[in-house]
Structure 1
């Protein structure tokens, strides 16, 4: 990408971020004036605190996208064609507690823990029915 295009893009990002912040700070000021008036409520005060955060959001998103692109470029430069960081490895506890992929055969012994859980659910249902 040509340097002038990158510079124009960065300038546009900065302008959009600053315009967003200025607009949202103006809306926060307007909500503050509403809160200070006789008909103001605490909802207006909540908006006073929220609008500046909304104004900062575009700048945060551009920063985050830039950071992710930089990480992707570093991974490519390191020779790793696959993105292993995007998909976390399953934890051993989660792998053990996952449901089985195949249904048990009918001649297998019943699972005591499952039977106890089903009895517990039946008790809860019975209690709800009596109420």
Structure 2
């Protein structure tokens, strides 16, 4: 990860921190209004909402970085696999059988071809 502290990253971090500080200040302001005699539960609701609003920019930065990393991982080229090596089949040397008839010889040739096809 080259350039961990770039000006752009520092500016984004500063904006997130300022957002959090301002929103926490607004939450404190709403708490003070809730604590007064005329305070309502709406003010109390804002006390809980403002910190969430302050954390939202940091969440968005985190989310965008995750999406960017996923997009880069999907766009990365797949490692090239080696092409399959050709299978060389060696026909067994058979002694000529004089007592085989033509039908049995044709059947044995068919079995040898099927075996060779299965090996590919």
Give TM-score scaled by structure 1 length.
0.55
Structure 2 unaligned runs (5+)?
A: 79-120
- Report 1:67-106 matches (<5 A): 67-79=66-78
CA RMSD of aligned residues (A): 1.7
Q: CA deviation at 1:78?
A: 4.1
Match of 1:32? Answer: 31
Larger Rg: 2
Partner secondary structure for residue 40 of structure 1: coil
Partner secondary structure for residue 21 of structure 2: helix
- Whole-angstrom distance in 2 between the partners of 1:46 and 1:9: 34
Q: CA deviation at 1:76?
A: 0.7
Match of 1:49? Answer: 48
Match of 1:7? Answer: 6
- Whole-angstrom distance in 2 between the partners of 1:29 and 1:75: 44
Partner secondary structure for residue 31 of structure 2: helix
Structure 1 unaligned runs (5+)?
A: 80-131
Q: Structure 1 residue runs of 4+, over 6 Å off?
A: none
- Whole-angstrom distance in 2 between the partners of 1:49 and 1:78: 46
Deviation track 1:5-49 (CA, whole Å, cap 9, x = no partner) reads x71111011100000000000000000000000010000000000
- Report 1:90-129 matches (<5 A): none
Give TM-score scaled by structure 2 length.
0.60
